[in-house]
Amino acid sequence: MSANASRAARFSNPPGLIDPTHYHFSQMAVVEPGARMIFLAGQGGFDGDGELPADFEVQARQVFRNIEIALESAGAAIEDVVRLTVFIVGYDEARMRAYHGVQYDAFGEHRPAATLIPVTQLALPEMMIEIEATAAVKA
């Protein structure tokens, strides 16, 4: 049995679409009937005390920790994420490499459907990254 068989979603890259696995995401997530959906608000790089580091990669790692904390509180895990919307300020090649490394560290071979949107600013000027996540777990 594959690891995905115990999850509430299947991930795929249909023929005719570019294969995005190099960028650590899938073109499509199909959520199985009866799944419990979890929608996370955009998570910034703040720690539990409200501190926001000045380094992009440190903020990105904290974002994924925050996503894990939120999911665990709902009885889910990082592998249950089916969709990400990623907002990055000052997106360039260095931030792209740093982000993909952090995402791979967080997800391993799990590749949710994802969209990355370069932006000029987020809610606070010090924020460099924000991620919205959607997860699905078997009900």
Query: How far is it, in rounded angstroms, from Cα 40 to Cα 57?
Result: 21
Tokens matching residue 130: 């924000």
CATH number where 44 lies: 3.30.1330.40
At 48-103, the pLDDT tens digits run: 999 999 999 999 999 999 999 999 999 999 999 999 999 999 999 999 999 999 99
Helices (H), 74-117: 93-107
At 99-132, the pLDDT tens digits run: 999 999 999 999 999 999 999 999 999 999 999 9
What is the domain extent for residue 24?
Answer: 3-137
User: How many structural domains comprise the chain?
Assistant: 1
- Going by pLDDT thresholds of 50, 70 and 90, the confidence category of residue 3 is very low
